[in-house]
Amino acid sequence: MVKIILSGCNGKMGKVISKLAANSTDLSIAAGIDKNTEKTTFPVFSNISLCNVDADVILDFSRPDALEGLLKYSKEKNIAIVLCTTGYSKEQIAQINEASKKIPVFRSANMSIGINVINKVLKNISELLYKDFDIEIIEKHHNQKVDAPSGTALLLGNTIKDSIPEETTFTYGREGISKRNHNEIGIHAIRGGSIVGDHEVIFAGQGEIIELKHTAMSRDVFAIGALKACQFMYGKSTGLYSMDDVVK
């Protein structure tokens, strides 16, 4: 049984994860961390530094400002950490990479199995298509999402960028009257209503269009992936891991 400390347990994603974990025979939520300490089936602490419950993995679905405390606790207790939060700064990503030299760290911008399969496909086709196709990414999310573009759009964009030998640049939205440059990878963010998550990669050529699209119908897809990641990280050695390791 994998015992999990769930950071952000009383948020929207935290509640979905808790519900799914309650029906699992392979893992359980041992404790939660949240500013909202509303009682649930496990103890909830307002700060991870107050947590006195033994666990195997920390699962974080909170906010970037919680990172420092989570990494500190993980290193002190020598337990794995799964980071599902997006919107990290370059400095925070550097902290994560440095921490992975001392503890097992898992980080992914999107926990959906489907998105990560698409990401693998992009690694194989982006260089092949780049010469004759323009590349655009469109992402859609609910109106309460705080970061834009989404971490997933950046994940897909960076995969494309890293797969193409030529120098490419990100263009966020389009404004002005200049023509599109071929070396641009367009990234566009839409916010509205209760959209869970929609990502589309468009390869637009002369007379043909190739589209890769993923639509999350509910938050369950992210929760399922996150719990799979926790199981994957149980007993892992020091290092940096991602969904690429889970969907091999």
Give the start-to-end residue ranges of the domains of the chain: 2-107+220-246, 113-216
| CATH architecture for residues 2-107+220-246 | 3-Layer(aba) Sandwich (3.40)
Distances (CA, A) of 76 to 1, 46, 71, 153: 22, 18, 9, 33
> Residues 3, 140, 141, 199: which is the catalytic one?
141
Predicted local confidence at residue 39, as pLDDT: 77
Ligand-binding site membership of 69 (annotated): no
Of the candidates 64, 60, 71, the one whose C-alpha atom is nearest the C-alpha of residue 33 is 60
DSSP helix/strand/coil, 148 = coil
Ligand-binding site membership of 97 (annotated): no
Mean pLDDT of the 198-221 span: 96
Q: Cα–Cα distance between 52 and 39 in angstroms, integer?
A: 16
CATH topology of domain 113-216: Dihydrodipicolinate Reductase; domain 2 (3.30.360)
Ligand-binding site membership of 111 (annotated): yes
The upper half-sphere exposure of residue 118, i.e. CA atoms within 13 Å in the direction of its Cβ, equals 22
Q: Tokens for 223? A: 């929760």
Q: Cα–Cα distance between 161 and 122 in angstroms, integer?
A: 10
Q: Tokens for 211? A: 């589209």
Predicted local confidence at residue 77, as pLDDT: 96
Q: Cα–Cα distance between 37 and 232 in angstroms, integer?
A: 28
Q: Which residues of 214-234 are buried (b: 16+ CB within 10 A; e: fewer)?
A: bebeebebbbbbbbbbbbbbb
**113-216 has the same fold as 2-107+220-246:** no
Ligand-binding site membership of 85 (annotated): yes
Mean pLDDT of the 221-232 span: 95
* Statement: residue 179 has pLDDT above 80: yes
75 is catalytic: no
Could you read off the pLDDT of 14-60 as tens digits, one per residue? 999 999 999 999 999 999 999 999 878 999 999 999 999 999 999 99
> Residues 15, 77, 120, 145: which is the catalytic one?
145
Could you read off the pLDDT of 81-112 as tens digits, one per residue? 999 988 899 999 999 999 999 999 999 888 99
179 is catalytic: no
Name beta bridge partners: 82.
59, 106
CB distance 45 to 6 below 8 Å: no
Mean pLDDT, all residues of the chain: 95
